[in-house]
Each structure stands twice: as structure tokens, then as C-alpha cells.
Amino acid sequence: MTHAMVKASPMALPAVSDDLNGYLAKIAAFPVLTSEEEQKLAIKYRDNDDLESAGQMVMSQLRFVVHLARSYSGYGLPLADLVQEGNIGLMKAVKRFDPDVGVRLISFAVHWIRAEIHEYVIRNWRIVKVATTKAQRKLFFKLRSSKKGLGWFSAAEAEAVARDLGVTQEQVYEMESRLTSGDTSFDATTADDGSEKRALRPAEYLHLEESDPALVAESQNFADTQASILADGLLDLDDRSRDILQRRWLDDDGKTTLQDLANEYSVSAERIRQIEKAAMKKLKAHMLAA
């Protein structure tokens, strides 16, 4: 092990409260596991039902849950609740994680974390918030007590209420509209006009795939892993082969021609091509093995 592991049970997660700074300070004490440490812990948990190992795997990823939960703050739901739901998804992922597959835990866990947060959002997100400010709450209760019938306020009535509460008539009409509107079901499958035309459910466009933070993180993790494997493979090549591949394919300044390299190494362009081909074959074998 490269550093001391925090001893913890998966049931002893730090309490998530509205004070996210305090929570972040607590989880910052848990170290990020290396691939080797993660693999050993996953095998111990799978083979021996070692809850301590599972707890260490959970603790190591709590930071990412907060990062992911923050991307859903636009739905008006408490961030602490989003983090708590994400932690549940993380624990489910650890329980199902298979170390033999050869992927990092985070690449597997993002789907479970996202699924739990989405389920919470779908259960709790209301399309139209009735009253979100102090003035709106006063207006809400005023209209609730003032309206005796089902009809809309007349201009005179709206003006009187607006004058009493110090708001505009437009705000009175807006709140009246909210009070008379219903929520939209996440499971509606037909058009609003009652026709058979299929309408998208809100759950179907809850997020965009290309901007999903879970997929972005997973993609970045995969790219970082591939870059690391590539760097290791290049180190296994001899100096000349590595230099040729670097200048032919990896330099930002542009692709060096076969002839320029041939002149520099005092060989034919065909010989440079052969070296390049052999080096690419060796590098490919290294990456496939990894």
C-alpha cells in the first residue's frame, strides 16, 4: 500500500447535512485509492464479504458523488439530499463491482450514482414552484383566502390585492395562474390534446448525453488511462523507434515526413517506414495486453 487506509464500514458514512463545507472537510480525509489498492479491496470484499474493504472503496469516491450531485442543483432540490441519494448509488455500485472486469470503480459507479439521483429528481421535482420567495408566499396565502369563487380576478380586484401587498398586478395574475395550474406528470405518454400522437416524457429529456457529467467523467477517465498505457508502451521502444513515432504521429507541431527523418538518420525513407511499422505493431500489442 502506498498510504494508510482509512478504516471504515460502508454503513458509517459521514452524515450529509446542509453544511456541505463541513461534509467536504470530513470526506477530504479519505484517500483516493490507486488501481492496485482498489483491486485488492474489491477482491477481499467479493471473496470474503469483507465490509471494511467495501467501506474503504465507498469512502474513496465520496468526492465524486458531491461533484456529480452539484450538476443537478438547477432542479431546486436540496444539494444535501442529492448527495445522499448519490451515496446510495455508490454503495450499490460497490456491492456489484466485479474486479475481474478490469475497469476502475468510478467508471462502473457513475451509472449507479446517476440512476439514484435521477430517480430522486423524478420523484421530487415539481415543474412549477408555487411560492419561492417571501413576497410570493404572502401573495399565495392572500389569494388563497381572498378567492371565493372559481373565476379569475377582475382588474379592480387584482389592483386592490397588488396595492395591499406592494406587488404588481402582473405578479398577482402570475400567482393566480400558478394556483389554478396542475403539475405535469413525468409519465405522460400522449399529447396534451388527447390525441394518440406520442409525446416525450420529461424523464426522457432530463439530461443530455453529451453534457452528462457522469459520462464526461467516465470518458475522461478512459482517455487518461489510454494515455498512460500509451506512454508506458513508448518507453518500451528503442530511442530511434520512439523518436520516429513521436515526430510522425504525436508532436503538436505537425507530422514529420519520412524523407526528413531518413536524411537525419542517414537511411532510406523506406527504412524509416519499416521502423515505423514495426514500432506501431509493438505499441499496439502493448496496448492490447494492457
Tens of pLDDT, residue by residue over 170-220, are 877 777 666 555 555 545 554 555 555 555 555 554 555 555 666 666 677
* pLDDT at 1 (0 to 100): 35
Per-residue 3-state assignment (H helix, E strand, C coil) for 231-253:
HHHHHCCCHHHHHHHHHHHHCCC
In this structure, of 200-214, 238-252, 255-269, the range with the lowest mean pLDDT score is 200-214
User: What integer is the mean pLDDT of 57-75?
Assistant: 86
CB neighbour class for 116 (10 Å; exposed up to 12, middle 13-18, buried from 19): buried
Question: Which residues 6+ apart lie within 8 Å of 214 measured at CB?
Answer: 68, 110, 111, 113, 114
State yes or no: pLDDT of 159 exceeds 60.
yes
Instruction: Map grid coordinates 460502508 to a residue.
Output: 10
Taking residues 207-236, report their average pLDDT.
72
Q: What single letter denotes the amino acid at residue 11?
A: M
The tens digit of pLDDT for each residue in 134-155 reads 565 566 556 655 554 445 667 7
Task: For residue 148, give the nearest of 156, 157, 160, 139 by alpha carbon.
Answer: 157
Confirm if 158 and 170 have CB atoms less than 8 A apart. Answer: no
pLDDT value of residue 209: 55
Largest CA distance in the chain: 97
Q: Distance of CA 239 to CAs 230, 242, 263, 270, Å? A: 15, 5, 17, 19
Q: In the beta sheet, which residues pair with residue 190?
A: 198
pTM of the full structure = 0.45
Block residue for cell numbers 513508448: 234
Q: Does 67 have pLDDT greater than 80?
A: yes
How is residue 150 written as a grid cell?
372559481
Contact between residue 76 and residue 39 where contact means Cβ atoms under 8 Å apart: no
What's the average model confidence in pLDDT over 24-40? 88
Residue 9 pLDDT class (50, 70, 90 cuts): very low
Cell of 190: 400522449
Mean pLDDT of 258-272: 92
pLDDT of residue 150: 44
Distance of CA 222 to the CA centre of its chain: 14
pLDDT of residue 127: 43
**Lowest mean pLDDT segment, chosen from 40-49, 145-154, 157-166, 257-266:** 145-154
Query: CA 58, 62, 67, 69 torsion: positive or negative?
Result: positive
In order, the DSSP letters of 12-38 are: -PPPP-S-HHHHHHHHTTSPPPPHHHH
